Structure formats: structure tokens, C-alpha cells
Amino acid sequence: MSFPDLNLLITLDVLLAEGSVARAARRLRLSPSAMSRALSRLREATGDPLLVRAGRGLTPTPRALALRDQVHDLVQGAQTVLRPDDSLDLSSLVRTFTLRTSDGFVESFGPALLARIGAEAPGMRLNFLQKPDKDSTPLRDGRVDLETGVVEESLGPEVRSQALFRDRLVGVVREGHPLSQGKLTAKRYAEARHVVVSRTGFESDAVDRPFLPAGLERRVATLVSGFSAALALARGSDLVATTPDRHTQNLRDGLFSFALPVPARAFTVSMLWHPRLDADPAHRWLRARLREVCAAPGSGPT
């Protein structure tokens, strides 16, 4: 089965609009002879002369007049399909997106993000999910639309990422804790009783381990699965929690935070998404709002 050359639709649209082979050739940046050959092909394809001599010019046939609006609409529709979709009516947009992130991120950045969404896109709903692991499968299969975290080398090439902010680890204890008083040394920090965050339940998989000195040995009293639980225990006991600064700003209200007395490595928190949503106007808008919220004054490290 042979298919017609759809490029001829563009040629026909211009010919019918200009009513002149010479003018149509100039508009399409073709030679007059090339345009004449294209007209011959159109006549053969449609079985109609389309444009016929009338004095010194050309006049459309009844078939050409009947086709003119239809051909123009087809060409305009094809151009719309083959160009980026930049149309986004936030006032009438109805979409639900799912953001997967570590606890603390929602408490620190969620209220401002939801306020922006509510003011500009009231029909958009944002669901927050806990991030129990670094598996990117939920992004690939569509269960999660956006995620935050530290990009690792093992991240597959099918996942896109963009930096949001730099963060660092801080130590956290209750007010009046011995570490909140006197000179804080690496020895005092290491020998204190620690609550450590590990998603797997193994101390070797502590989420802060990659950013602490390799030889550091802490006195670990208990393991928990998230920063909220770690800070809750630190608030009500003599345990020391080590958490990301910006992630846990609001969770640390009323607690004593301190810079670690060991050479801890800073890290970049990024947002991650699947390429299928890269050009989606609503998703692009949401990513831009998240970047703005994370970059807002007053949200930097303390």
C-alpha cells in the first residue's frame, strides 16, 4: 500500500492561499520550476487541475475552493501536533502528582509548596509519600511523579535530575543536654549515645554514613527508620540525632542543634523524575515551583 506524500498538503495550502506559482515558490523558498513540478504532482494526486490559467493569472477550480479550508485546517493541526505544547491554563488544570521524599522535607518545604499550588493552580493536588529506599522503579512505572534525594552513581540513565539545594549534617540534642554545654569535641560526640536513621535496620546502612568520616565509630543506642522518629527520641531523652540541616529545620524547633565536630561532607539534594514527564507543561510548572520554594530566602542552612 502506497501512502501519499503529506508534504504536498503544505504545498497545496500555500498555493491555494497565494494563487500564484511564483509567490508560493518564494514563500516556501523553492524555485519556480520545483513549485511547478509540485503542482503537477498535486494535480495527479487529486485528479483535478486545482489552479487554471485565467488571463495573466491563475484561478482555483471548484475542487480547489472546496479543499482550501480543509487543507489549511489539516496543516495547522499537524503543526500543532509537531511543536512543543506550551499551553497551560493553571486556573482550569485538574491534575494529581505524587512526590516521594524523606520525612522532614515535607515539614520544611511542603507548606510553602502547597501554598504556591493553591494560589496558582487550585485544581492541582499534590500527594506526599515516604521514601523507604532509593529504588527508582516507582518513577519508571508511574506510581511516583517526582522524587527528592541525593543522586548516586547507580541512578539509571532513564531518570532525570536537577539540583535543589546543598545540605549538611548537624547534631541535635535536647535543650540542657551535656553536649549543648562546654567545648564540643569529636570524642564527646562519638562517645555520646546515638539514635541512628537506617531504612534497612542495619547500622552499616545508616543514611548519614556516606557523609561522615570513614573511621568514625559512634556509640549507637538505637536505630529508627526516619528523621522524625530520631528527633522525637532526641527530644525526650539524652540520645544524639544526626540529621540533614535543611530537611529537618521545622522538626528541630525547641531542640539544640550544633555543627558536627568531625569533618562531615556536604551533599546536594536533587529532584528526580522520569523522562516521559520532561516536556509535560504541568510537570514542568511543578518542578519550577519546587525549585523556587527550596531557593526561597530563609530556607538555607543554619
Using alpha carbons, select from 248, 265, 274 the residue that is nearest to residue 157.
274
Q: Can you give the CATH number for the domain in which 50 is found? A: 1.10.10.10
pLDDT digits (tens, 9 = 90+) for 165-191: 999 999 999 999 999 999 999 999 999
> Is 177 found in the same domain as 61?
no
pLDDT digits (tens, 9 = 90+) for 52-99: 888 778 888 999 888 888 888 888 877 766 666 667 889 899 999 999
Bridge partners, 160 (sequence order): 273
If pLDDT is split at 50, 70 and 90, which confidence band does 141 have?
Answer: confident
d(CA 98, CA 93): 16
pLDDT above 50: residue 301: no
> Is 155 found in the same domain as 278?
yes
Residue 91 in domain: no
> Is 179 found in the same domain as 261?
yes
> Is 285 found in the same domain as 213?
no
Alpha helices in 47-145 (DSSP H): 62-81, 105-120, 137-141
Q: 4-13, 116-125, 283-292 — which is least confidently predicted?
A: 4-13
Total domains in the chain come to 3
pLDDT above 60: residue 1: no
How would you classify the pairing of strands 95-101 and 124-130?
parallel
Q: Give burial (CB, 10 Å; 0-12/13-18/19+) of 91.
A: exposed
Q: Can you give the CATH number for the domain in which 228 is found? A: 3.40.190.10
Mean pLDDT taken over the chain:
89
Q: Give burial (CB, 10 Å; 0-12/13-18/19+) of 121.
A: buried
Residue 212 in domain: yes
Could you tell me the residue range of the domain that residue 55 belongs to?
A: 7-81
Out of 32, 47, 81, a domain closes at 81
Kindly state the average pLDDT of the residues 206-216.
Answer: 93
> Is 75 found in the same domain as 12?
yes
d(CA 158, CA 279): 15
| Greater pLDDT, 4 or 186 | 186
Residue 104 in domain: yes
Q: Which run of H or of E encompasses 37?
A: helix 32-46
> Is 207 found in the same domain as 181?
yes
Residue 66 in domain: yes
> Is 108 found in the same domain as 58?
no
pLDDT above 90: residue 216: yes
> Is 278 found in the same domain as 140?
yes
Residue 157 in domain: yes
Using DSSP, how many helices (H) and how many strands (E) does the chain show? Answer: 9, 12
**Percentage above 90 pLDDT, the chain:** 56
| Greater pLDDT, 19 or 206 | 206
66, amino acid identity: A
Write down the pLDDT at residue 155: 66
How would you classify the pairing of strands 146-149 and 267-273?
antiparallel
> Is 252 found in the same domain as 184?
yes
Residue 302 in domain: no
Cell numbers for 117: 499550588
> Is 251 found in the same domain as 111?
no
pLDDT digits (tens, 9 = 90+) for 218-253: 999 999 999 999 999 999 999 999 999 998 988 999
